[in-house]
Structure 1
Amino acid sequence: MPQVSVTIAGRLYRMACGEGEEAHIEGLAATLDGRIEEMRTAFGEIGDMRLHVMAALTIADELSETKRGLARLEGEVAALKEAVGAGDERLGDVEERLAEAVSTLAERIERVTKSLTPSAQPSQPG
């Protein structure tokens, strides 16, 4: 199993990860390290544990908001899919009515054409 070494808040950590996940773990560690540094800049030296907890809470808050936003967007997508489905159904109904109207019109045209076409009558001697 691959291992990756990351530095968070000046401490080196070695961790196991899945094949090909090394860069992802390094990126996550860099994000956490940056967040801890932001907390340190904003609040000063208030203790590593407190800085780590505050950084973790801000990241957890962002994750929570992202999940809520995703759930909202999934709901909107579901509603749009439903609306498209209903629209497709209505379109099918319109197409069916249109086909019936075209058929009826074709029958009428045929009747009119027959009524306007002189029927072949035997010629009368004259």
Structure 2
Amino acid sequence: MAQVTVTIAGQSYRITCAAGEEAHLERLAASYDSKIEEMRAAFGEIGDMRLHVMAAMTQADELHETRRRLAAVEAELGRLRSSSGDERARMIEARLAEGVHKTAERIEFLVRSLNAAGQGQGT
């Protein structure tokens, strides 16, 4: 296992991760730190814990919305698969599959971001 030190809201956290994931974890921490700074700019100095909670809730909301959109795309893909086998339907299916893939990547990014934030609090 590898370790990486990240800084979030001015605090350093040492986090264990899989070998090769260090840069990814650093990007996630930077994203979360940016979200906290965004909250700080919007709401002022309301306390670090509140800023962390608000940033985490914002990212959780983004994850929820992404999952909802993914479910809608998967449902549409299912309807297309069952309705027609013509070339146009296959092209639409390919585009939807690409959208599902991109949405899944976004969900994974958000989950890792939330997990990293949770790990950073306990380390």
TM-score (norm 2): 0.67
Percent identity of equivalent pairs: 63
Kindly state the Cα deviation for residue 14 of structure 1 after the two structures are TM-superposed.
0.6
Distance 2:26 2:75 in 1: 33
Match for residue 110 of structure 1?
A: none
Distance 2:5 2:84 in 1: 50
For CA contacts below 8 A with separation 6 or more, give which structure has more relative contact order. 2
Kindly state the Cα deviation for residue 52 of structure 1 after the two structures are TM-superposed.
0.3
Distance 2:23 2:78 in 1: 34
Stretches of structure 2 lacking an aligned partner (at least 5 in a row):
88-123
Aligned length: 87
Kindly state the Cα deviation for residue 84 of structure 1 after the two structures are TM-superposed.
2.8
TM-score (norm 1): 0.66
Match for residue 20 of structure 2?
A: 20
| Deviation digits for residues 11-55 of structure 1 (CA, Å, limit 9, x no counterpart) | 111100012111111111011100000111111110000000000
Q: Specify which structure has the higher proportion of helix.
A: 2
Match for residue 35 of structure 1?
A: 35
**Which of these two proteins has the greater Rg computed from alpha carbons?**
1
Structure 1 runs, 4 residues or longer, greater than 3 Å off: none
